[in-house]
């Protein structure tokens, strides 16, 4: 049996004033987009559900994506650990700075550890280049960002600014969420943009291990 169940991450649900205790309930949503009020007991005999993590639709195209998530693809891993370059002090609880990289804050890591969800582990992220830019205070309804990098390249929001060790310490520990590979997933394009797609997990009950957000 196949299921289509999605969640989204991004600025829309996460602001620096948003109560952390509500974030997990807000970002875990069924396919009908109704909020899941409680996380199911992982030992329940009810049919399994699998939740997929999709990037949020940010304003300003690639500029918005870099501002929200930063980047991990610019630098190679160091001793197996991601090297993150991003803005601060705002850091969303979940961000997708690379093609398959998922980074979570320390507070959100604790929520996941106590949630009963399975199929993932954590390893620390190296905060290689953290720069000060309070872009989250810009008008998100504007067609253009308040400012562009001098080169016009999105990554230069970060690379043109100096690393701040104090800011890196202020944002706290960040973690890579490492997923186990289990269910066979088929992704279908349903619109003109790259994010307009749906993922279908086939026969998750046959997996030999747990998947991200599986019960």
The tens digit of pLDDT for each residue in 9-50 reads: 444 433 333 333 344 444 443 333 333 334 444 444 455 566
Give pLDDT, residue 58: 87
Higher pLDDT: 44 or 111? It is 111
Using CA atoms, how far apart are residues 187 and 174, in angstroms rounded to an integer? Answer: 29
Using CA atoms, how far apart are residues 72 and 83, in angstroms rounded to an integer? Answer: 6
pLDDT in tens, 42-97: 444 455 566 666 666 789 999 999 999 999 999 999 999 999 999 999 999 999 99
Question: Percent of the chain having pLDDT more than 70?
Answer: 61
Higher pLDDT: 204 or 159? It is 159
Q: Which of 38-42, 128-132, 192-196 is most confident? A: 128-132
**What tokens appear for 203 in the block?**
């026969």
Using CA atoms, how far apart are residues 98 and 106, in angstroms rounded to an integer? Answer: 19
Give pLDDT, residue 50: 63
Cβ-based neighbours of 193, under 8 Å, separated by 6 or more: none
In the predicted model, is pLDDT for residue 172 greater than 50? yes
Q: What is the mean pLDDT of residues 136-148?
A: 96
Give pLDDT, residue 140: 93
Q: pTM of this prediction?
A: 0.68
Are 102 and 179 in contact by the 8 Å Cβ rule? The answer is yes
**What tokens appear for 40 in the block?**
């199911």
Give pLDDT, residue 95: 94
CA neighbor of 114 nearest in space, from 53, 24, 48, 199 = 24
């Amino acid at each position: 049996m196949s299921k289509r169940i999605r969640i989204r991450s991004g600025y829309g649900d996460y602001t620096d004033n948003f109560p952390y205790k509500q974030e997990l309930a807000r970002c875990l949503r069924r396919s009908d987009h109704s909020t899941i009020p409680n996380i199911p007991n992982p030992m329940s005999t009810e049919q399994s559900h699998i939740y997929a993590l999709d990037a949020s639709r940010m304003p300003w195209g690639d500029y918005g994506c870099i501002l929200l998530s930063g980047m991990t693809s610019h630098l190679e891993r160091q001793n197996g650990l991601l090297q993150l370059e991003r803005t601060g002090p705002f850091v969303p609880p979940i961000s997708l700075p690379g093609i398959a990289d998922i980074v979570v804050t320390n507070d959100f890591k604790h929520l996941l550890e106590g949630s009963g969800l399975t199929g993932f582990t954590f390893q620390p992220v190296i905060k290689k280049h953290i720069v000060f830019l309070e872009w989250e205070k810009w008008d998100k309804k504007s067609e253009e960002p308040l400012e562009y990098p001098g080169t016009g390249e999105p990554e230069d929001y970060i690379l043109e600014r100096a690393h701040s060790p104090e800011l890196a310490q202020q944002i706290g520990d960040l973690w890579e969420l490492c997923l186990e590979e289990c269910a066979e997933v088929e992704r279908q394009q349903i619109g003109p943009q790259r994010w307009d797609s749906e993922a279908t997990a086939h026969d998750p009950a046959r997996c030999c291990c747990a998947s991200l957000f599986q019960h």
